[in-house]
């Protein structure tokens, strides 16, 4: 078994162990080591056996010294080559393994290795605490100052983080702008919040990178091992949940995962499991909220809003399950169902009320759904199936999905425009630099977010903002819908400001499809 043996030279007939048995042993011990066998002339059977057992070569006695030298050189060269190749393979394997478990930018363990470390604590019953932190405004920094500066920022942040945590503590990059720390001995665990505090302090000093002064704080969520979850990922998720709640407390804050978050998390898991079933068993239902023209109070269309008729929990609003659906990918099948249901009803109303030929249905489309490769194809097929033309279908897309995907979105939008489909930017005003998109994207309509409408009469600033958005849409030749109109005063103000369309509880809440028929009947009467 000694690796320092370079090769074996053996006779066949030997005391204690004969050469053929030795060959078997060598093959068991070391796949690379080779033997050269010496045998008397005419001993053909033995030679054949030796070759079968992996002998590299054989020499016939009496042995010629030149022959011996050549054979030894040849054998050593072969073994040497095999060893080198093996080492190269080993290095390549290590490199691959490294890439699978370490982040190439910072050299830190990635999320899967981090989860491994949590698993180790769990199996050894070692108490631990997890700190999850995210870099505030990282995406914004990256998109405004460039990728290189963004990455440099992360690297310098890691340096600072290291000074705040005990030596040999696992620090991991768990996402593009997320880090996690595993404190896995009791005294450290007790100090988790002190460590969080020192991280906040250390990061509060601005970074100077290539002459740019950047301040970027973090939010920290802390979770402890006493939650008795089974999966490592559940603990990391718990720390993330706490981090999300720290977001609400503002910059540079820390939050602990607590019982209440725990029950929210449990509920989420239930929703997740239930939702998959709900989509296939038709527990979903669409409600429709009228959109009215402010000039003449006529209904111009409806926004389809999904609800979940849960067998035990009753009607659940999308606020509770859309984000779960988005995180799990279920939104794609959910969205497909909504699309078909909405188009089906639009087609039905059209045939019942041919007089209202401009009636539209607006359907909310989530980013994930928009970017599935067969989205356009499915949509076209549905329009054909229900004999609906693209111009009366509106797709509502939130401004926020444009931040990371402006180019990809542009492509899809352009394809949709070829089918004459109308595009609305939803929740307008709540995103980042909204104006930049408007020139570039083929958009037809902006939906002014509810938060501006319900505060515009109390806040001069928001009133000016609504006014500015309306001027903007006019000058760009777009249409505008005010969302969430709840009072007559709001409606009147919007009329004064020349807003074209509105929706909200003041006009009607979202209603089941069969409640829409009487509304449309009334429209026809008013009109004729």
User: Which residue number, 108 or 286, has a Cβ lying nearer to ligand C2E?
Assistant: 286
Binding ligand C2E (rule: CB under 6 A), the pick from 121, 305, 395, 397 is: 305
DSSP-derived secondary structure letter, 109 = B
Q: How far is the CB of 450 from Ca ion (least distance, A)?
A: 6
Distances (CA, A) of 264 to 215, 231, 239, 261: 33, 17, 13, 5
Q: Using alpha carbons, select from 15, 12, 7 the residue that is nearest to residue 39.
A: 12
Contacted by 301, from Ca ion, ligand C2E, none: CB < 5 to 8 Å by type: none
Does 319 help bind ligand C2E (rule: CB under 6 A)?
A: yes
Does 397 help bind ligand C2E (rule: CB under 6 A)?
A: no
User: Which residue number, 18 or 326, has a Cβ lying nearer to ligand C2E?
Assistant: 326
Q: Which tokens go with 497?
A: 């400001």
CA angle 66, 72, 78 (to 5 degrees): 135
Binding ligand C2E (rule: CB under 6 A), the pick from 103, 136, 184, 426 is: 426
User: Which residue number, 132 or 503, has a Cβ lying nearer to ligand C2E?
Assistant: 503
Contacted by 505, from ligand C2E, Ca ion, none: CB < 5 to 8 Å by type: ligand C2E
Q: Which tokens go with 304?
A: 């389809």
Pairing relation of β-strands 299-310 and 360-364? parallel
Does 362 help bind ligand C2E (rule: CB under 6 A)?
A: no
E-state strands within 422-513: 422-428, 445-448, 479-482, 501-502, 511-512
Binding ligand C2E (rule: CB under 6 A), the pick from 52, 91, 317, 433 is: 317
Q: How far is the CB of 518 from ligand C2E (least distance, A)?
A: 20
Does 510 help bind ligand C2E (rule: CB under 6 A)?
A: yes
Contacted by 317, from ligand C2E, Ca ion, none: CB < 5 to 8 Å by type: ligand C2E
Chain positions contacting Ca ion, by CB under 5 A: 364, 396, 426-427, 483
387, 348 in Cβ contact below 8 A?
no
Only one of the segments 76-84, 142-150, 159-167, 317-325 lies at the binding site for ligand C2E (rule: CB under 6 A); that segment is: 317-325
Long-range Cβ pairs for the range 457-461 (8 Å, 24+): 457/489, 457/490, 457/493
Q: 199: Cβ–Cβ under 8 A, 6 or more apart, which residues?
A: 131, 133, 161, 164, 165, 218, 220
319, 305 in Cβ contact below 8 A?
no
Binding ligand C2E (rule: CB under 6 A), the pick from 103, 240, 427, 523 is: 427
User: Which residue number, 46 or 503, has a Cβ lying nearer to Ca ion?
Assistant: 503
Q: 364: Cβ–Cβ under 8 A, 6 or more apart, which residues?
A: 303, 304, 305, 306, 338, 395, 396, 426
Q: How far is the CB of 158 from Ca ion (least distance, A)?
A: 39
Q: How far is the CB of 316 from ligand C2E (least distance, A)?
A: 10
DSSP-derived secondary structure letter, 64 = P
Q: How far is the CB of 259 from Ca ion (least distance, A)?
A: 33
Does 327 help bind ligand C2E (rule: CB under 6 A)?
A: no
Does 448 help bind ligand C2E (rule: CB under 6 A)?
A: no
Residue closest to Ca ion when measured from CB atoms: 396
378, 338 in Cβ contact below 8 A?
no
Binding ligand C2E (rule: CB under 6 A), the pick from 46, 75, 225, 289 is: 289
Contacted by 136, from Ca ion, ligand C2E, none: CB < 5 to 8 Å by type: none
Q: Which helix (H) or strand (E) holds 329?
A: none
The DSSP-derived string for 444-465 is -EEEE-HHHHTTTTT-HHHHHH
Does 504 help bind ligand C2E (rule: CB under 6 A)?
A: yes
Only one of the segments 231-239, 460-468, 479-487, 511-519 lies at the binding site for ligand C2E (rule: CB under 6 A); that segment is: 479-487
Per CB under 6 A, residues contacting ligand C2E are: 289, 305-306, 317-319, 322, 335, 338, 364, 366, 396, 426-427, 450, 484-486, 503-505, 510
């Amino acid at each position: 078994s000694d690796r320092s043996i370079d090769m074996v030279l053996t006779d066949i007939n030997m005391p204690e162990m004969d050469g053929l048995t030795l060959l078997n042993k060598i093959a068991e011990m070391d796949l690379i080591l080779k033997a050269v066998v010496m045998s008397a002339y005419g001993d053909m059977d033995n030679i054949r056996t030796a070759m079968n057992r992996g002998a590299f070569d054989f020499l016939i006695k009496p042995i010629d010294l030149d022959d011996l030298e050549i054979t030894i050189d040849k054998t050593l060269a072969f073994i040497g080559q095999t060893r080198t190749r093996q080492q190269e393979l080993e290095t390549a394997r290590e490199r691959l393994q490294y890439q699978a478990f370490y982040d190439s930018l910072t050299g830190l363990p990635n999320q899967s290795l981090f989860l491994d470390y949590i698993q180790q604590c769990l199996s050894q019953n070692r108490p631990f605490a997890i700190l999850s932190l995210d870099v505030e405004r990282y995406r914004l920094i990256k998109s405004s100052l460039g990728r290189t500066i963004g990455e440099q920022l992360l690297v310098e942040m890691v340096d600072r983080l290291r000074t705040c945590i005990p030596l040999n503590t696992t620090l991991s990059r768990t996402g593009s702008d997320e880090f996690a720390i595993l404190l896995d001995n009791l005294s450290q665990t007790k100090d988790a919040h002190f460590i969080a505090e020192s991280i906040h302090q250390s990061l509060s000093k601005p970074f100077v990178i290539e002459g740019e002064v950047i301040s970027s704080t973090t939010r920290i969520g802390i979770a402890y091992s006493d939650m008795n979850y089974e999966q490592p990922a559940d603990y990391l998720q718990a720390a993330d949940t706490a981090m999300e709640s720290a977001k609400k407390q503002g910059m540079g804050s820390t939050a602990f995962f607590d019982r209440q978050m725990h029950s929210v998390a449990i509920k989420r898991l239930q929703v997740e499991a239930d939702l998959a079933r709900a989509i296939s068993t038709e527990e979903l239902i669409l409600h429709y909220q009228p959109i009215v023209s402010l000039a003449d109070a006529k209904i111009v269309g409806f926004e389809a809003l999904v609800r979940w008729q849960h067998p035990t929990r009753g009607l659940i609003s999308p606020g509770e399950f859309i984000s779960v659906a988005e995180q799990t990918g279920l939104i794609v099948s959910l969205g497909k169902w909504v699309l078909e249901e909405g188009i089906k009803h639009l087609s039905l109303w059209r045939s019942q009320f041919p007089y209202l030929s401009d009636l539209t249905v607006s359907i909310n489309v989530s980013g994930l759904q928009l970017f599935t490769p067969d989205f356009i194809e499915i949509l076209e097929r549905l329009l054909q199936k229900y004999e609906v033309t693209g111009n009366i279908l509106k797709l509502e897309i939130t401004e926020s999905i444009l931040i990371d995907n402006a180019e990809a979105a542009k492509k899809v939008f352009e394809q949709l425009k070829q089918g004459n489909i109308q595009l609305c930017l939803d929740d307008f005003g709540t995103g980042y630099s909204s104006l930049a998109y408007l020139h570039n994207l083929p958009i037809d309509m902006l939906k002014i977010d509810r938060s501006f409408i319900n505060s515009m009469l109390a806040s001069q600033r928001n009133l000016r903002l609504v006014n500015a958005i309306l001027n903007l849409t006019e000058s760009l030749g777009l249409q505008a819908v005010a969302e969430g109109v709840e009072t007559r005063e709001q409606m009147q103000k919007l009329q004064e400001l020349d807003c074209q369309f509105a929706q909200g509880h003041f006009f009607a809440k979202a209603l089941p499809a069969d409640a829409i028929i009487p509304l449309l009947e009334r429209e026809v009467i008013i009109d004729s």
